[in-house]
Structure 1
């Protein structure tokens, strides 16, 4: 045990290890503590950089002499050690909050229940194509802290989850994007949608008149929250229904970008990413790109040549006329709905994992119209089975990606789609949603 820690980092995954590297590079006394065994990759990094740590539990005197805790986003505020720290008056912050202290880069921050990975990746693609010295971080790729420590950029596209936003107090987004608010992670918010929504609204915390806020006025919960929130920053709306406002909207089957007196457009058919949800994502990224100074020609080019994000409606293979699609990132009801709704062939649906308080009734209509069989992939499949036993004629339970893919392949016929869209978190059987998606793809390629 380190004898006199000043900064304690809870969790030694990508976020925690990145924070530790940044803290050490800035000369801070730091100690890393993880309740679980630390992944070998991160353990070796801590050892090589001389950063003291413990794993498999927290020491009884861990909080002694501690002035601040940097908490990994997967650790809830209700964890006993976190509650104890708060009771002792110790600051508990996120890795994003911590890293922001050590960079003067412009920060374009994207949140939402669905679409934030696609939007963040699309925005970074635009910035990179335009030649900006841009980083991609947050809930995607290498951690923000790791990048600030190693090769700090001029501008960042930051994907921010509600868990990361919860740990912020002084952080300020230069441009904030709120895509939507639909039920997700309600187990972390006392099953109260408004508490979850309030967490999402922290994306605009501390913004001033010099900053920008992009939001979707078609989203019911976002509209309700914003109606009761004073907005002092520059505001840009995206909508498929309203027209004429600053931001982006649809007119004559074209996206019209209207930003600070400059207007340009492109047809919906030109978008690389099709589907209604991807129109919103493209609009948001396009508005943000224009605000950061990217030329309209570059924005149009990037919106038309962008490649799908891994694990988001990713085509894997077509085997004997059966298409396999990996949407492992569909970890909630709304994103699973979009995945199912976008299919125009009969679906063998692979779903399951850790239920986050899901209301499966919201999927009934789309499931009735598209799904012919359900393959449950999880340790406890009872909520799924109970929800769909009277709706889906064939339901099978599995506990590995390989078994799920084999079962789906056995049930599928030519011109069917096997769709992995779990609607649940992955941590019962997999390391994360990426691990789940990659195991799914490996199993498909092994057929």
Structure 2
């Protein structure tokens, strides 16, 4: 059975794709293979790599503009998660009754694979990659998609997997209606991207909980019982799926918990219990215990052997740009956490280190509330170096907590300043709490520039 049980959308006719990034080009290829008349439109410049793919596939496209008459005649529109609902073109399409959906929603119609869907404000990339690694080790024919790697639609079109592990953002969930997750995971919910949700946390929470829509009694819902926002919202959303909580605060009868001996225990009815001491995990830190618990529960659902799970959790190496060790220079540890684009991610990063920290912070502020960082900054951060165009909110937030707050002119400048402020035994941590697009194309470029600057010290 496909993961959209019935066909809710046109299966022929004109398919318009808005946005020609990884997800858009993948959706265009799947649409072409399914016999649609496909047109791709991107308001920005389409990269040469994606242009070449579209030309090779003989798919019509336009770059640097949206031509209304080429778009408003669509039978179905697949839009990039980056395009907000308030965009006038989207409003026009909605007003005339044209379905506007996400690439994930579109592609799910055409696969019978099991879909493991992971969302959360923090930790979703690590949990997704760890789960993928574990399932591969367990011999499962598994694909990786969503916010990571090759487009889901492209893989559905041209590859064949029995299971997909999908990292799903709130922006993707906003355009998903009939999609069904076999396993849905909400790791945590903290204020993020509130500029897209009318600055209302409740709207963002509603978006995250769309991941459990359409689940049946055969499905599983994994969530963190220690996360206040998740637990507050849970009664509002009815789930038919088997509930599998995870917690580090108490013993529970089914799900995952941490016992008093610092041993993770994972139990799903009718499956063998799994145990592993947290000291044996390759990813350390409290937040990574949660990530391992979530991945472990997924592995149990997929009936992996305990030995495979243990080996995987003990050998996994973290993804780039997430608490990534770059170098150890003059007794100073340099850490790239460029993927930390919100305040909560920075909290996790600061919590992971016991050394004094020189923190590189800043970028495009999305309405950040820095209050939750104040105590940790006071305890652990000896200096803050600001990057990005507007640094005033960082100065205002931490002027009483940090002894030193300085601005920098570039990433090279920031790293240079940090190297002078850091003493032997300290950690220089790039963990920006902000989006990157004022100085960089994306968080990957920001992290790469940091790594380059460190290596020239």
TM-score range, shorter chain: over 0.9
Per-residue deviation at 1:5? 7.6
For 2:253 and 2:157, locate their aligned partners in 1 and report how far apart those are by CA, in whole Å: 40
Q: Which of these residues, 379, 395, 399, is aligned with residue 389 of structure 2?
A: 379
Q: Which of these residues, 420, 427, 446, is aligned with residue 436 of structure 1?
A: 446
For 2:144 and 2:454, locate their aligned partners in 1 and report how far apart those are by CA, in whole Å: 30
CA contact (8 A) 2:209 2:237 kept: no
The 5-angstrom pairing of residues 242-253 of structure 1 reads 242-251=250-259, 252-253=261-262
For 1:57 and 1:408, locate their aligned partners in 2 and report how far apart those are by CA, in whole Å: 42
Which residue number corresponds to residue 53 of structure 1? 61
Q: Normalising by the residue count of structure 1, what TM-score does the alignment of the two structures yield? A: 0.97
Per-residue deviation at 1:145? 1.1
For 1:167 and 1:34, locate their aligned partners in 2 and report how far apart those are by CA, in whole Å: 18
CA shift digits 1:26-61 (9 cap, x unpaired): 221111111111111111111111111111111131
CA shift digits 1:137-169 (9 cap, x unpaired): 101111111211221211011000000111101
CA shift digits 1:273-313 (9 cap, x unpaired): 11111111000100101101211111111111111111111
Which residue number corresponds to residue 361 of structure 1? 371
Structure 2: segments with no counterpart, 5+ residues: 1-11
Q: Secondary structure at the match of 1:62?
A: helix
Q: Which of these residues, 118, 123, 144, is aligned with residue 126 of structure 2?
A: 118
Report how many aligned residue pairs link the two structures. Answer: 444
Q: Which of these residues, 128, 133, 141, is aligned with residue 136 of structure 2?
A: 128
Matched, 1:295 2:287: no
The 5-angstrom pairing of residues 186-201 of structure 1 reads 186-201=194-209
Which residue number corresponds to residue 157 of structure 2? 149
Which residue number corresponds to residue 255 of structure 1? 264
For 2:363 and 2:121, locate their aligned partners in 1 and report how far apart those are by CA, in whole Å: 18
Which residue number corresponds to residue 327 of structure 1? 337
Q: Secondary structure at the match of 2:191?
A: coil
CA contact (8 A) 1:347 1:373 kept: yes
Q: Secondary structure at the match of 2:52?
A: helix
For 2:318 and 2:60, locate their aligned partners in 1 and report how far apart those are by CA, in whole Å: 40
For 1:413 and 1:88, locate their aligned partners in 2 and report how far apart those are by CA, in whole Å: 62
Q: Which of these residues, 388, 400, 403, is aligned with residue 398 of structure 2?
A: 388
For 1:328 and 1:107, locate their aligned partners in 2 and report how far apart those are by CA, in whole Å: 28
Q: Which of these residues, 421, 432, 437, is aligned with residue 422 of structure 1?
A: 432
For 1:181 and 1:283, locate their aligned partners in 2 and report how far apart those are by CA, in whole Å: 17
The 5-angstrom pairing of residues 23-62 of structure 1 reads 23-62=31-70
For 1:402 and 1:102, locate their aligned partners in 2 and report how far apart those are by CA, in whole Å: 47
1:230 to 1:64, Cα distance in 2 relative to 1, 3 A: closer
For 2:410 and 2:34, locate their aligned partners in 1 and report how far apart those are by CA, in whole Å: 43
Which residue number corresponds to residue 288 of structure 2? 278
Q: Please tell me the root mean square deviation across aligned C-alpha atoms, in Å.
A: 1.4
The 5-angstrom pairing of residues 138-177 of structure 1 reads 138-177=146-185
For 1:383 and 1:84, locate their aligned partners in 2 and report how far apart those are by CA, in whole Å: 37
Per-residue deviation at 1:400? 2.8
Q: Which of these residues, 17, 23, 39, is aligned with residue 15 of structure 1?
A: 23
For 2:409 and 2:22, locate their aligned partners in 1 and report how far apart those are by CA, in whole Å: 27
Per-residue deviation at 1:399? 4.4
The runs of at least 4 aligned residues of structure 1 exceeding 3 Å deviation read none
CA contact (8 A) 1:5 1:65 kept: no
For 2:412 and 2:91, locate their aligned partners in 1 and report how far apart those are by CA, in whole Å: 40
Per-residue deviation at 1:63? 2.7
Moved more, 199-208 or 9-18: 9-18
CA contact (8 A) 1:175 1:288 kept: yes
For 1:33 and 1:309, locate their aligned partners in 2 and report how far apart those are by CA, in whole Å: 32
CA shift digits 1:351-379 (9 cap, x unpaired): 11111110011111001111111111112
CA contact (8 A) 2:119 2:169 kept: yes
Which residue number corresponds to residue 68 of structure 1? 76
Q: Normalising by the residue count of structure 2, what TM-score does the alignment of the two structures yield? A: 0.95
Q: Which of these residues, 267, 272, 292, is aligned with residue 277 of structure 2?
A: 267
Q: Which of these residues, 174, 188, 191, is aligned with residue 180 of structure 1?
A: 188
